[in-house]
Chains A and B, each alone.
Chain A
Amino acid sequence: MLPVAAYLALSAVLFTMGVVGVLVRRNALIVFISIELMLNSVNLAFIAFARQHLGIDGQVIVFFVLVVAAVEVVVGLALIVEIFRSRSTVDIDDVDLLRG
């Protein structure tokens, strides 16, 4: 059996990939996928800890995260579709209505 540290390392790598993806990519869909990546990396960490502590809390929380992620996909994709319809682009740097 692999040590917990390995799972955590993978989780950290995945999370970092997600962060970098959010920061450097401009395509909204890619950014979206990067966010999913981060969420799942956290899920992995939870599962790993749950396994280590032999508890069930971590796994329960994973379900919550999954639900939230699913909802997020629904809302987020809808938004992206709507933005594409009105602006013909999914480049998030072009969407700057909130600039002060």
Chain B
Amino acid sequence: MLTTLIFLPLAGALGIALLPRGREGAVRWAGLGVSLLVLLAAARVFQAFDASSGAMQMVEQAPWVPAFGISYRVGVDGISLLLVGLTAVIFPIALLSSWAAIADRVKAFTMAILGLETAVLGTFLSLDLILFYVFWEAVLIPMAFLIALWGGPNRRYAAIKFFLYTMAASVLMLIAIIATHVLGAVLLWERTFDIERLATMVLPVRTQGWLFAAFALAFAVKVPIWPLHTWLPDAHTEAPTAGSVILAAILLKMGTYGFVRFGPTLFPDALVASAPLLAALAIVGILYGAAVSWAQTDLKRLIAFSSVSHLGFVMLGIAAMNEQGFQGALIQMVNHGVSTGALFLIVGVLYERTHSREIADYGGVAARMPRFAAIFTIVLLSSAALPGTNGFVGEFLILLGAFRTSTWWAALAVGGVILSAVYLLWAYQQVMHGPLVAKHPERLLELTRREVLVFVPLIALIFAIGVYPKPLLDRSEAAVQAALERLNRTAATTLPARAVVRVQR
């Protein structure tokens, strides 16, 4: 089932390649149809998932390069399940949102998006390090094309920066993967890249530290953790709306997912030891991202920096190393995908109408587009973590988890909660309130039916997760407990006393 899920979009993309030239409507519908099928498949997985087990489920395996112990091995647990669900939801929305915005090379665009979906799903579901690495790097290719071909005026600079920055950071991970494999061959007498097998070996803390550093660098750039974030504003600003949405909603999660997936399994001691550092960087990111957001004049850059701030929360939850923190981090990944994805869609709506991203070019839009204003308000409040919306559930759990690990972490991070209200409402006021400011007010037309349809699922998710997050939390609970168990065990036994951070459930 998982293999079908992963390769369905790719198969769809190949199918679309066969469609005759010039049939753009057909291409669009086909792309949407394929992504909806993927959603259906993901829903099946979500339904068939056994929430009571923290182990990998629905594992599928086939030898790939047996000589080196490389295999095709995929499986899902509570951690990846949420992200798979998020991916499956976001892609149809991204395709639907570019219905009118993308007019040239529609076929290539649709294929790039679908190819991206396969790569992303593969990244989240791989259980083999090499397979993971292949998918991880494969993500870059369609994304770089999306930015470079359909992006804004400065797109080539942004695309190259994005590609080189993330690629350079991942190369070290490849070396660490090979090193892990070699260590596995020595310690386990087995040539394997299987994560679960490799997780059974006990490495010295120093070795773990070096390997984890290489992995963490790749993940940190992707998250992005301050100060490795500068590719993000450029990439976001120049990418087309659908690209920004996918970048923010899903690609950034690959980084945080990497921490949650590989930290507790392969390098538990190193993760525990580096928690204070991660937390410190996360808190700097939260406050820094928020403060810098406030100073932006470009709407997309503002949202990009708000992502730095929000993902700081996710990292803080991971660094808290307790159940509230981890659960909060997981659900916050989903939340950020939904809310920030929606925010980029909102900027896209404005950009489609006036071709400007400058905050100063707008004002009083709410009076012309009341329905749009209502949607914007809801998304904004969700991003500012208002109780009753999804953002609150995540931030509350993360802050609670952080508080129980260190009072100071939470006390500092809470500043981010205040600042998020400051910059989001400031931006909203500049764009939507006040007297009407626009070069072409007649272009500020109310949302079309299709555009409303784009937002409806996201708004529904915002409230559903905000009011009743239990289905998600239940599904990830067992996996989180299993991960924490590993961390606890190592913290209790192998670490020197000074490196032990308080790890608690």
- A–B contact with Cβ pairs below 8 Å: the answer is no
Chain A positions within 8 Å of B, measured between CB atoms, are none
